Structure 1
Amino acid sequence: MSMGQHQSSKSADLAQIITSMHRAIPELHGVMIASVDGLAVAHDFPEADAERMAAMAATALGLGTRITERTRLGTLAEAVIRGEQGYLVVYSAGTDAVLVLSGPIDSNLGLMRIEARVAAVEIKQILGQA
């Protein structure tokens, strides 16, 4: 398998995770897999919002990680941002990736957490970090 085919396969696998998240939680506004450097890897957000969302997610992950370390809370499990209109939930997906879910205020946060934990493990496997 050539490097291009391998990369294409990873992209398809990541896109499948996004599709599966929407199947499990139809009300989601968007799902993104981004690098910890703030670059969008795979997503279904509008293109105009993607890079900004990726940068903010990486920042939220970094800040959440520092807070949990400095306050001796252990390893960061998730960062949840709740606004009047909805949620943005950020998960670590290995050492190189961030998983982001955006949903309306009436989203089932418990289901988002369950599905995101499963997806984060799958993302780590796809990116070769399992």
Structure 2
Amino acid sequence: MTASKTDRLDTALSALRRAMPDVRGALVATSDGLPIAKSFSDNTDASRVAAMAATANGLGKRISDTLGTGTLSEMSVAGHSGQVFFYTAGARAVLAVVTPPDANLGLLHMEARETAQAVAAIL
């Protein structure tokens, strides 16, 4: 029996969290801001994160278009207590990853980009 899309998305997020144990959370959202799958180490509101991910993705696309930097692939927001990275996951979804401020960014980008590609293939 084939696993459902939800199960496959949950597996992809779990693999990301296993590869990067210090990641505080990860979420897949539709491009219009609805949560599809989530994995947070606390009780973060997935609906709010999904809405923010979609908004950030939309803004990033407008910036890329305006400045002629090509198709948006990822963007980030950094604060003193952590960072949030947004990766496009095909035309219909976005992957948001919340990290501590001292995360290993090389490993994060490698793992998260792979996860975003897996999410795009699932959806």
Q: TM-score range by the shorter chain?
A: over 0.9
Offset of residue 116 of structure 1: 1.2
TM-score (norm 2): 0.93
Unaligned runs of 5+ in 1: none
Partner of 2:46: 50
Name the larger-Rg structure.
1
How do residues 76-95 of structure 1 correspond to structure 2 at under 5 angstroms? 76-95=72-91
The structure 2 residue matched to 1:15, chosen from 4, 10, 18, is 10
Aligned-CA RMSD value: 1.5
The whole-number CA distance in structure 1 between the counterparts of 2:94 and 2:24 is: 17
How do residues 1-130 of structure 1 correspond to structure 2 at under 5 angstroms? 9-45=4-40, 46=42, 49-127=45-123
TM-score (norm 1): 0.88
Aligned length in residues: 122
**Would you tell me which structure has more helix in proportion to its own residues?**
1
The whole-number CA distance in structure 2 between the counterparts of 1:48 and 1:112 is: 20
The whole-number CA distance in structure 1 between the counterparts of 2:6 and 2:12 is: 10
